[in-house]
Amino acid sequence: MDNIVSVSSLQKSFKANRVLKDVSFAIQKGSIFALLGSNGAGKTTIVRILSTLSKPDGGKASVCGLDVVRHGNCVRECISLTGQFAAVDEALTGRENLHLIGRLKRLPNAKGKADEWLAFFHLEDAANRKVSTYSGGMRRRLDIAMSLMGSPQVLFLDEPTTGLDPQSRIAMWDLVKSFAAEGTTVFLTTQYLEEAEYLADHIAILHGGKIIAEGTPKHLKEIMPQRGAQLHFQSERKAAEAMKLLHDNGIAVEGMEQNLPSLEDVFLTLIGDKEEAQP
């Protein structure tokens, strides 16, 4: 598959604070990519650079094959961004918010698209209510619906489920999965490790201004040391005998699976190892 996002040796400082020192990664088209990191690690800084809201101090980044610095206007035409806080107008209704975005994007059928996304996000009954009456989960769904007006190739979701209740978070996970199934590339930043594990095809861990590990959730678990295994036997008697005689008597094992650590274990271990290595 082609890479729709490419980042090479990205650097960014804010006065004396070097937030990004040497960040490199690539995202395949149509996949869900999760960027993990602690507060202040630089996740949002990367999103702002890739969405052309900020310029890097060094390195290169491209989205949809376009350099984010030299071709910012073209990059903005193929992406959408949902930030950490819902960017909705509370004085307008849900439908009016979507119509507004449709007009700004000069969509030929803004009203029709608005109705489609209202139905998709189960907001039809609240479409003509002011957003000030919406719950947090409804506002977040409307915010993402506004981002999807115009069918972006890449959707940036910067901690999209922060502040949502468990039921709304799970509903949001299903929506993100559906976006990717329809061909949209999703760039997700999150502090929820179970969220990344459930959603992402590929995960990168950002720490100390660099990507310290990346891969599929399964790969990240497999690189951890001191893993174990679970053995399943046909009966308790055979399991007891196997404790002493498995090697000598060749007792059959019905099944075997790796006892991998959780993604939380991986994250905390990697972050802890890096912090201990610093002087």
Average pLDDT of the segment spanning 103-116: 88
| Lowest-pLDDT choice from 74-78, 202-206, 267-271 | 267-271
Query: Is 273 a domain residue?
Result: no
Residues 142 and 216 in one domain: yes
In this predicted structure, the answer to whether residue 98 has a pLDDT above a threshold of 80 is yes
pLDDT computed for residue 149 by the predictor: 85
| Lowest-pLDDT choice from 2-6, 95-99, 185-189, 217-221 | 217-221
pLDDT computed for residue 275 by the predictor: 54
Report the Cα 219 to chain-centroid distance in Å: 17
Query: Is 268 a domain residue?
Result: no
CA distances, 145 to each of 79, 98, 120, 138, 223 (Å)? 13, 8, 9, 10, 38
Q: Bigger pLDDT: 230 or 112?
A: 112
Residues 23 and 70 in one domain: yes
Q: What is the pLDDT of residues 50-62, one digit of tens each?
A: 999 999 999 999 9
pLDDT computed for residue 110 by the predictor: 86
- Ranges of beta strands (E only) in the chain are 3-14, 17-28, 32-36, 58-63, 66-67, 79-82, 154-158, 185-190, 202-207, 210-215, 228-232, 255-259
In this predicted structure, the answer to whether residue 227 has a pLDDT above a threshold of 80 is no
Query: Is 219 a domain residue?
Result: yes
Amino acid identity, residue 104? L
Residues 145 and 241 in one domain: no
Specify the pairing of strand 79-82 against strand 154-158.
parallel
Residues 34 and 77 in one domain: yes
Task: Transcribe 52-72 into DSSP letters.
Answer: TSS--SEEEEEETTEETTTTH
pLDDT band at 38; cut points 50, 70, 90: confident
Query: How many domains does the chain contain in total?
Result: 2
Average pLDDT of the segment spanning 110-133: 91
Residues 61 and 85 in one domain: yes
- Tokens encoding 262: 């959780």
Q: What is this structure's pTM?
A: 0.75
Query: Is 129 a domain residue?
Result: yes
Query: Is 270 a domain residue?
Result: no
Residues 135 and 31 in one domain: yes
Residues 109 and 237 in one domain: no
Residues 208 and 243 in one domain: no
Range of the domain at 84: 3-224
Query: Is 201 a domain residue?
Result: yes
pLDDT band at 25; cut points 50, 70, 90: very high
Can you give the CATH number for the domain in which 154 is found? 3.40.50.300
Mention every residue, 6+ apart, whose C-beta is less than 8 A from residue 135.
none
In this predicted structure, the answer to whether residue 124 has a pLDDT above a threshold of 90 is yes
In this predicted structure, the answer to whether residue 148 has a pLDDT above a threshold of 90 is no
Residues 242 and 162 in one domain: no
% of the chain residues with pLDDT over 90 = 45
Report the Cα 138 to chain-centroid distance in Å: 20
Residues 51 and 105 in one domain: yes
CA distance 207 to 86: 27
In this predicted structure, the answer to whether residue 252 has a pLDDT above a threshold of 70 is no
pLDDT band at 279; cut points 50, 70, 90: very low
Amino acid identity, residue 147? S
Query: Is 264 a domain residue?
Result: no
pLDDT band at 273; cut points 50, 70, 90: low
Query: Is 265 a domain residue?
Result: no
Residues 109 and 206 in one domain: yes
Q: Bigger pLDDT: 19 or 141?
A: 19
Residues 82 and 167 in one domain: yes
